[in-house]
Amino acid sequence: MEPNGPTSPAPSREQLTSAECLLLLASVPVGRIVYTRRALPAVDVVYFGVDEGDIVIRTDPDGVLAAATHHTVVAFEADEVDTSTGHGWSVLVVGRSREVTDPGDIARLRDIGLRSPASSSQEHFIRITPGILNGCRLTG
């Protein structure tokens, strides 16, 4: 026995393909977007969807998030981990964000059922195109 008690095996991490990352992202409704606010990192929890390989967020057009993510590089992360077993996955996206302005795109995005912030009756869509897409599967 070790001086500090028995040790358990270290969790293993299996790298995921880009296709696996996108499938896993599409399986959960909530993630975190990381952006810059007043020259400091900021993180918001958001509802999102995956559309044609991009991350799409519906937000308040007059909100801080909409202003701070206008044509900037952002990070986006989502995961699902069972803390009792250590099994799960985590995916990180880094890419350029932009406002969705095409009326056809907006109409189609309306139909995928993205939730919007409770305070907003208007709709504003932000699209993040992955430049870097990394993910791993965790096994306890």
Q: What is the pLDDT of residues 109-140, one digit of tens each?
A: 888 877 766 555 667 899 999 999 999 999 87
Structure tokens at 126: 């932000």
Q: Rounded to two decimals, what is the model's pTM?
A: 0.85
- Residues 43-66 have a mean pLDDT of 92
Residue 3 maps to a domain: no
| pLDDT of the residue at 60 | 87
Residue 4 backbone class (left: φ over 0; alpha: ψ -120 to 50; beta: rest): alpha
Residue 108 maps to a domain: yes
Q: What is the pLDDT of residues 11-42, one digit of tens each?
A: 689 999 999 999 999 999 999 999 999 899 99
The domain that contains 109 carries what CATH number? 2.30.110.10
Task: Look at the chain and count its residues.
Answer: 140
Residue 66 maps to a domain: yes
| pLDDT of the residue at 94 | 98
Structure tokens at 51: 């559309």
Per the structure, the count of domains in the chain is 1
Residue 134 maps to a domain: yes
**Residue 82 — pLDDT band, cuts 50, 70, 90?**
very high
Query: Kindly report the CA angle at 33 between 22 and 138, in degrees rounded to 5?
Result: 50
| pLDDT of the residue at 6 | 53
Q: Report d(CA 134, CA 128) in Å as an integer.
A: 15
Residue 1 maps to a domain: no
Residue 122 maps to a domain: yes
Q: Are 73 and 96 in contact (CB under 8 A)?
A: yes
Q: Report d(CA 80, CA 119) in Å as an integer.
A: 27
Q: Which helix (H) or strand (E) holds 108?
A: helix 103-110
CA 122, chain centre distance (Å) = 22
Range of the domain at 39: 18-139
Q: What is the pLDDT of residues 66-80, one digit of tens each?
A: 889 889 999 999 999
Residue 12 maps to a domain: no
Q: Residue 22 — φ and ψ, nearest 5°? A: -65, -40
| pLDDT of the residue at 62 | 86
Residue 13 maps to a domain: no
